[in-house]
Amino acid sequence: MGRLDGKTAIVTGSAQGIGAAFAKALASEGANLIVTDISDVSECVASIHSSGGNAIGAKVDVTSDDDLSAMVTLAEKEFGPVEILVNNAGLFANLELKPFWEITNDEFDLVMKINTRGVFQAVKACLPSMQKNGRGKIVNISSGTFFYGPPGLSHYTASKGGVFGLTRNMGRELGDQNITVNAIAPGLTESKGVQGNEGFHGGRAPTVASRSIKRDMLPEDMLGALLFLCTPDSDFITGQTINVDGGKINL
């Protein structure tokens, strides 16, 4: 029997990589998944089905209220009220690293819109469903970049700093509604997207050297923290961020 049997979960940005790993982990614990992305999610959905899990895919732009409303309607129709929301969608692996003075206003706005406002919009969309159900678990994916400000990623770092702030505020505002809001701050993770961006290649060795656990970080390294934050084990924890980076940053 899984720890999340029968619970309805949504993972944004879960067509591949970290998001797909999250969706599969939740499904393995018995959750019914709505797998969403702007890209094709069929591979992730098929993988969950082949492992005996339940999942439905949906094309969702997290900056579109219409898409998000349709996502929640689909979840409630197929599986019941939303109990778990994992805000993973964001821009990172395809970003071009450049000093802040070379980042255009449009580039900055796009990263903030997807990475920060997308979290804000997704939570607002799912909140009524969680309120009707009387409980909820929200997990926002932030980033360890907020703690040290890596050169070339000022727009990304700012956007993930915004996720820290939203996590704290939402956790405080929703605590009396039996809805917890927490975040995971991963280090540089060897997803397929990151491996395909040459801009990140030079940072790999220094990143590993700076960790207490000196190896590459994989998407699977976050699954323990994710499941902890989605199960009753974390019922008395909210507004917090778990730093998962092999000990690079000690808070």
* Nearest of 218, 207, 210, 117 to residue 158 by alpha carbon: 117
* Nearest of 244, 225, 228 to residue 236 by alpha carbon: 228
Amino acid code (one letter) for 34: I
* Nearest of 125, 192, 200, 110 to residue 155 by alpha carbon: 110
Cβ burial, residue 134 (10 Å; 0-12/13-18/19+)? exposed
Positions annotated as catalytic residues are 156
**DSSP designation for 217:** B
Strand bridging mode 32-37 / 8-11: parallel
The helix (H) or strand (E) run that includes residue 106 is helix 105-112
Neighbours of 107 (CB within 10 A): 15
* Nearest of 157, 154, 162 to residue 119 by alpha carbon: 162
